[in-house]
């Protein structure tokens, strides 16, 4: 992780200039930046009554306290560019990994589970952190991205993958289990995949949420390795047999493991875009046609007249007080000059009355 000679020289210089003596947590060394970093030393100390993270400037002897929490903050390490520090803390009841800026701002929680996550070591690329965890009941190595979005299990065996410092702290090492006698017959049991697709087709997305882009699709019975989960267990991060890593909807996967043993990942949930509400087209008002005429308007006594009408887009129509259909005619033989009407009631209830006078000479 760093050059031993450079660490020793920097640490000695820090102590000589600062004159500060601190009781480091057993198994936790003070870690120094290299020549490309800011030249500061980060360490854990219980000088305030519990372990906190401090930064020491070897040039001035100035010590700055970065964390202040009743829990123990331990095992700090600089990021390769010297701008952030990763450390372990039991502030939520068990040890999780946290990242903080070199000036003590922007504290971010990387892991979130009921297990112990310890001994973080930043990788040279500055994008990933290796740590140990007993999330699966044994101490194995894990790799987590610096943004907490991806977690990979690197080892999976009954051996203890922790460093010797942690063993010296008195942590109970998981029992290796019963040892088979000469008369025992050990039968190998094929291991089940973490999960299996139980839908005809399952979308594998870049983030949790139906709004995230689809990376690929897998078919029913595809085995999945589960790497992480969203906080409410609605989505899980999986690795496909071809190595593709993505997120799938949890109810569409049959699980063979307990999700509480899988780390919670701090990753953005992308909701589907809102469904557009269809706009109802305005109903066009029916076209209204009202036509009313007579074949003649002047007659001699004893003659008759034929009235005709054509009406559309209306509710009711009456010829001289008598209800009629929208299109028709009627013959009348008035004995004296008479005015006839066609009364139309529109759809909106308004009335439209047309008049024709028949003159009898």
15-to-51, 58, 73, 103 alpha-carbon distances in Å: 19, 8, 22, 21
Which helix (H) or strand (E) segment holds residue 165: the answer is helix 164-168
pLDDT at 171 over 60: no
- List pLDDT tens digits, range 249-267: 999 999 999 988 888 888 8
Task: Specify whether the backbone of 210 is left (phi greater than 0), alpha (psi in -120 to 50) or beta.
Answer: alpha
pLDDT band at 320 (very low <50, low <70, confident <90, very high): confident
User: What is the spatial distance between Cα 21 and Cα 39, in angstroms, rounded to a whole number?
Assistant: 19
Which tens digit of pLDDT belongs to each residue from 73-130?
999 999 998 899 999 999 999 999 999 999 999 999 999 888 899 999 999 989 999 9
Which position has the higher pLDDT, 135 or 281? 135
Give me the mean pLDDT over the 49-66 stretch.
91
What's the pLDDT at 254? Answer: 94
First to last CA, the chain: 124
Look-up: residue for tokens 């640490």?
11
Q: Rounded to 5 degrees, what are φ and ψ at 49? A: 110, -25
Q: Which of 214, 219, 215, 216 is nearest to 197 (CA)?
A: 219
Q: Is the pLDDT of residue 343 over 80?
A: yes
Question: Is the CB of residue 293 less than 8 Å from the CB of residue 327?
Answer: no
Contact 309, 332 (CB under 8 A): no
- 281 pLDDT band, cuts 50/70/90, is low
Tell the residue number behind the tokens 């009408």, with chain if given.
309
Q: For residue range 119-143, list pLDDT tens digits in order.
A: 999 999 899 999 999 888 889 889 9
Q: From CA 64, how far away is CA 19, in angstroms rounded?
A: 15
Q: Is the pLDDT of residue 185 over 50?
A: no
Note the pLDDT of residue 173. Answer: 37
Exposed e or buried b per residue across 145-163, where buried means at least 16 C-beta atoms within 10 angstroms of its C-beta: bbebbbbbbeeeeeebbbb
Instruction: Give the per-residue pLDDT at 174.
Output: 39
Residue 348's pLDDT band (cuts 50, 70, 90): confident
Per the prediction, the chain carries an average pLDDT of 81
Q: Quickly state the pLDDT bin for 282 (edges 50, 70, 90).
A: low
Nearest to 109 by CA among 120, 95, 98: 98
Any idea which residue has 């953005």 for tokens?
Answer: 268
At residue 10, φ and ψ (nearest 5 deg) are -65, -45
| 27 or 132: which leads in pLDDT | 132
Instruction: Name which of 49, 52, 46 is nearest 21 in CA terms.
Output: 46
Examine the pLDDT at 193 and tell me if it is beyond 60: yes
Strand order in the sheet with 351-360: 298-299, 351-360, 338-346, 314-319, 322-323
pLDDT at 352 over 70: yes
pLDDT value for 283: 67
Q: Specify the 3-state DSSP secondary structure of 59.
A: coil
8 A C-beta contact, residue 51 and residue 27: no
What domains can you pick out in the chain, each with its CATH number?
4-168 (2.120.10.30), 195-261 (2.30.30.40), 289-360 (2.60.40.10)
Helix H or strand E encompassing 226: strand 223-229
Going by pLDDT thresholds of 50, 70 and 90, the confidence category of residue 314 is confident
Which of 153-162, 274-283, 338-347 shows the lowest per-residue confidence on average (mean pLDDT)? 274-283
Q: What share of the chain is helix, strand, coil (3-state, %, to 5)?
A: 5, 40, 55
pLDDT greater at residue 148 or residue 283: 148
> What's this model's pTM, rounded to 2 decimal places?
0.50
Q: Quick check: 266 and 278 in contact, CB under 8 A?
A: no
What kind and span of H or E run contains 4? helix 4-18
pLDDT at 29 over 70: no
Higher pLDDT, 183 or 259: 259
Residue 244 has pLDDT above 60, yes or no: yes
Contact 247, 208 (CB under 8 A): yes
Separation of alpha carbons 330 and 289, rounded Å = 19
Q: What is the mean pLDDT of residues 8-35?
A: 39
Question: Is the predicted pLDDT of residue 66 greater than 90, yes or no?
Answer: yes
**Section 285-301 average pLDDT:** 88
């Amino acid at each position: 992780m760093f050059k031993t000679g450079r660490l020793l020289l920097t640490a000695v210089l820090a102590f000589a200039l600062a004159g500060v003596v601190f009781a480091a947590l057993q198994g936790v060394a003070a870690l120094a930046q290299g020549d490309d970093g800011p030249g500061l030393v980060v360490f854990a100390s219980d000088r305030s009554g519990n372990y906190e993270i401090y930064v020491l400037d070897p040039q001035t002897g100035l010590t700055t306290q970065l964390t202040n929490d009743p829990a123990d903050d331990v095992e700090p390490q600089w990021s390769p560019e010297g701008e952030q520090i990763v450390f372990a803390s039991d502030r939520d009841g068990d040890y999780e990994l946290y990242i903080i800026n070199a000036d003590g701002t922007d504290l971010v929680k990387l892991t979130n589970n009921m297990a112990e996550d310890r001994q973080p070591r930043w990788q040279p690329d500055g994008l990933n952190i290796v740590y140990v965890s007993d999330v699966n009941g044994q101490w194995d190595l894990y790799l987590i991205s610096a943004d907490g979005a991806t977690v990979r299990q690197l080892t999976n065996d009954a051996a203890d993958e922790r460093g010797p410092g942690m063993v010296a702290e008195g942590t109970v090492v998981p029992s290796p289990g019963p040892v088979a006698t000469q008369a025992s017959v050990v039968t190998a049991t094929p291991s089940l995949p973490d999960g299996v697709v139980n839908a005809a087709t399952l979308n594998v997305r870049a983030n949790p949420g139906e709004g995230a882009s689809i990376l690929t699709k897998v078919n029913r019975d595809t085995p999945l390795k589960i790497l992480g989960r969203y906080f409410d267990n609605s989505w899980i991060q999986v690795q496909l047999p071809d190595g593709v890593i993505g997120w799938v909807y949890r109810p569409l996967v049959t699980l063979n493991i307990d999700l509480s043993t899988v780390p919670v990942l701090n990753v953005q949930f992308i909701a589907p875009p809102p469904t557009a509400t269809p706009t109802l087209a305005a109903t066009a008002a029916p076209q209204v046609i009202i036509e009313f005429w007579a074949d003649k308007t002047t007659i001699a006594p004893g003659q008759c007249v034929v009235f005709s009408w054509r009406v559309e887009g209306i509710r009711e129509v009456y010829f001289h007080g008598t209800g009629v259909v929208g299109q028709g005619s009627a013959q009348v033989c008035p004995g004296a000059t008479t005015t006839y009407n066609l009364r139309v009631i529109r759809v909106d209830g308004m009335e439209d009355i047309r008049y024709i006078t028949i003159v009898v000479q």
